[in-house]
Amino acid sequence: MTYRAPITEIQFLLDHVLDGARVAASDAFAEADAETCAAILAEAAKLAETQLAPLNTVGDLHPARLENGIVRTSPGFPEGYKAIAEGGWIGMAADTEFGGMGMPMVLTSAVNELLASACLSLSLNPLMCQGQIEAITAHASDALRALYLPKLISGEWSGTMNLTEPQAGSDVGALSSKAEANDDGSFAITGQKIFISWGDHDCAGNIVHLVLARLPDAPGGTKGISLFIVPKFIPDASGKPGAANSLRVVSLEHKMGLHGSPTAVMSYEGATGWMVGAPGGGMAAMFTMMNNARLGVGIQGLSQAELALQKALAFAAERKQGRSPIKGGTGMILDHADVRRNLMVMKSQTQVARAICLDCAISLDLAHAQSDPAMIARAAFLTPIAKAFGTDTGAEVASLGIQVHGGMGYIEETGAAQIYRDARITAIYEGTNGIQAMDLVGRKLADGGAAARALLDEIAITAKASPELAAAHKALVAATDWMLGAEMNDRAAGAQPYLRAFALVLGGHYLLKGAAIDDSRKPLADFHLRQPMAAVAGLCAAACQGAAPLYADALGA
């Protein structure tokens, strides 16, 4: 199977379902007209299909390795990274003042899907860079922006995010890394960080680490955390990589998947760094990067769902087993009802995940362009749904892809297993999906449910044409009311089923809108309404059970 970029599907969503023209109608993104966007998608598709897709299996079979303190990436990865950088894809959404394209997030997200489907391991590098660019743009001093942004945007240098420590995972406030002031305004950073994606490599001339650390007199918890730029090579007076900094790669993790992406344990030993933002402002700055990354990771999950779907469809159309159960059948397993049901689930969930992610991206663009509090809240509400549902979909669709392949799916040579192994981490990093769900029912409902109800009102209009969507919408409204009246731990107990219910109902909304434009889309919309979305009633019931049943069993502890 040869990967083909789904630009027709992306374009249909933008043109007919999500009203993407609103973005180009704003002054901020006036240059992102339909013709420009189509040309950019076509070029990204060419890069993904011809240069990056052949690297996917290579990265899996020939992982990055640490040799004498130097990380060597998979064969072809430096050339693939160079193609991404030279094409300007890293800085698509970045400020034109520093060399970026200034394109909207929705177009950047669409391009990122194509690059990630082609080679997820390699595409993780520019995704980290994009998040760092946004954080530095929003929070760093003019001097730091002038020095680092042009090089990050061009891809001459690349960037990482350093949060996690052995004792401080989701509880970032438990970190022990420290920062001590130097006489010249810089800081000495000491500590160890783990799970650092693309923490070191041979693709770029310098690697810029964003590191969370605590000043000596800072309070405990997240309020005492500051953020620092710590480059692998300290820039000299001309801005070029100079002396090696006091940091090193301790080891590379041996992972279930994403073998081509070097995930490092990093040690900072009095390394020179510069503060980004104000003292104690580290989490605010880092959340800028993480919010960018959460949508980006949702796109990663979507990308693997699309790849698994394409591979499973191709296999099912070529694999002959038994007799066809239908008149005039091809004799291939695509004729069999159960295989078709799996493929229909894969297709519907992939399309729903894409619509949610691109809707979130459009909302972010309009929030930026209009400074509209309602649109800002809409984007914030959709972000955890995009991340969690996008990545759950990636793993679930990849698993179904293995099932469609049968025993051949469990054999590495078919490539179906790699997709699952690569996709599985996306539901964990950048905040586990449980954390995303708790964020949804916590912070995102803290406005009294205004953002949730605004989305539910949009869905209610579409639901007038569908009894199934109307019933699911009613159940979701009731679950939202329950959440707003419940204690926080009771909300947390039902957070994941609530998030999934919201995603499935949004899916019915999007697919029905598409079917109203194109009759050929009606069968898939009907399938989603009657099968995947049929779970919404049960999910909403589960969401409203409260926490007590979870503590009734001691779980053998």
Q: What is the pLDDT of residues 310-364, one digit of tens each?
A: 999 999 999 998 888 998 889 999 999 999 999 999 999 999 999 999 999 999 9
Q: What angle do CA 550, 542, 503 make, to 5 degrees?
A: 125
The pLDDT assigned to 223 comes to: 86
Residue in 134, 396, 430, 468 annotated catalytic:
430
> What's the chain's length in residues?
557
Average pLDDT across the chain, whole number = 95
Whether 136 maps to a domain, the answer reads: no
Given a contact cutoff of 8 angstroms between Cβ atoms, the answer to whether 246 and 257 are in contact is no
In a domain, 540, yes or no: yes
- pLDDT at position 449: 97
Judge whether 523 lies within some domain: yes
Distance (Å, whole) CA 31 – CA 28: 8
**Can you give the pTM of this predicted structure?**
0.96
* The token pair that represents 229 in the structure block: 């730029």
Answer yes or no: are the C-beta atoms of 47 and 81 closer than 8 Å.
no
DSSP class of residue 74?
P
> Does 171 have pLDDT greater than 80?
no
Give the model confidence (pLDDT) of 364-414 as tens digits: 999 999 989 999 999 999 999 999 999 999 999 999 999 999 999 999 999
Alpha carbons 329 and 335: distance in angstroms, whole number: 6
Q: How far apart are CA 99 and CA 113, in angstroms?
A: 23
Please give the pLDDT value at position 170: 72
With tokens 């605010």, the residue in question is: 284
Residue 446 placed within a domain: yes
CB of 310 within 8 A of CB of 4?
yes
CA distance 308 to 302: 10
Mean pLDDT, range 283-299, rounded to an integer: 86
Note the pLDDT tens digit of each residue in 209-262.
999 999 998 888 888 899 999 999 999 999 999 999 999 999 999 999 999 999
Does 259 reside within a domain?
A: no
Count of domains observed in the chain: 1
Active site (annotated) includes residue 86: no
Q: How confident is the model at residue 556 (pLDDT cuts 50, 70, 90)?
A: confident
Q: Within a domain: residue 172?
A: no
Region of residue 406 (left: phi > 0; alpha: psi -120 to 50; beta: else): left
Angle at CA 266, nearest 5°, toward 134 and 148?
A: 30
Has residue 468 been placed in a domain? yes
The dihedrals phi and psi of 243, each to the nearest 5 degrees, come to -65, 145
Which of 455, 285, 450 lies closest to 386, judged by CA? 455
Q: Is residue 497 part of a domain?
A: yes
CA-to-CA distance for 381 and 367, rounded, in angstroms?
A: 12
Structural domain for 476, as ranges: 438-552
